[in-house]
Amino acid sequence: MRVDELGELSDEVIEIAYKITKEGLGPICDNCLGRQFAKISSGLSNDKRGKILKEVLRTKGMEIEEGKCWVCNSLFANLEQWVTKALERLNDYEFDSFLVGTKVSGMLLENEEQIWEIAGATYAEPLKAELNREVGKRIEVRTGKRADFEMPEVVVILNLWTEKVELQVNPVFIYGRYRKFKRGIPQTRWFCRECHGRGCEKCKFTGKMYAESVEELISDSVLTEFKGDDMVLHGCGREDIDVRMLGSGRPFVVEIKAPRRRKVDLRMLEEKVKEENKGKVEITSLQYVKREMIAKIKNAEAAKTYKLDVELKSKVAEEDLQDALDKLIGAVIEQRTPTRVVHRRADLVRKRKIYNARLVSFNSEEQITVLEIKCDGGLYIKELISGDGGRTKPSLSELLGTEAEAKELDVVDVELK
Residues of this chain that interact with Zn ion (CB under 5 A) are 29, 32, 69, 71-72, 192, 194-195, 200, 202-203
Nearer to Zn ion, 69 or 354 (CB): 69
- Rounded to whole angstroms, the Cα distance separating 148 from 401 reads 65
The helix or strand, by DSSP H or E, that contains position 413, with its residue range, turns out to be strand 404-416
**Minimum separation from the CB atom of position 121 to Zn ion (A):** 16
* CA–CA distances in Å: residue 128 to residues 19, 30, 75, 109: 23, 16, 11, 10
- Rounded to whole angstroms, the Cα distance separating 336 from 251 reads 27
- Taking each continuous run of H as one helix and of E as one strand, the counts in the chain are 12, 14
**Minimum separation from the CB atom of position 291 to Zn ion (A):** 32
Nearer to Zn ion, 200 or 342 (CB): 200
Give one DSSP letter per residue of 332-371, joined into a string. Answer: EEEEE--TTTTTTS---EEEEEEEEEEEEEEETTTTEEEE
Nearer to Zn ion, 192 or 379 (CB): 192
Nearer to Zn ion, 199 or 247 (CB): 199
- Residue 117 phi/psi, 5-degree rounding, is -65, -35
Give Cβ neighbours of residue 395 (< 8 Å, ≥ 6 apart): 333, 383, 384, 385, 386, 387, 388, 404
- Rounded to whole angstroms, the Cα distance separating 35 from 57 reads 17
- Rounded to whole angstroms, the Cα distance separating 381 from 387 reads 10
**Minimum separation from the CB atom of position 136 to Zn ion (A):** 18
Nearer to Zn ion, 137 or 327 (CB): 137
Torsion of CA 375, 381, 384, 389, to 10 degrees: -150
Nearer to Zn ion, 134 or 153 (CB): 134
**Minimum separation from the CB atom of position 182 to Zn ion (A):** 23
Which residues form the catalytic set?
240
**Minimum separation from the CB atom of position 70 to Zn ion (A):** 8
Determine the 3-state secondary structure of 399 from DSSP. Answer: helix
**Minimum separation from the CB atom of position 79 to Zn ion (A):** 11
Sign of CA dihedral 282, 287, 288, 290: negative
Do the beta carbons of residue 72 and residue 28 sit within 8 Å? no
Nearer to Zn ion, 47 or 282 (CB): 47
Determine the 3-state secondary structure of 389 from DSSP. Answer: helix
**Minimum separation from the CB atom of position 54 to Zn ion (A):** 13
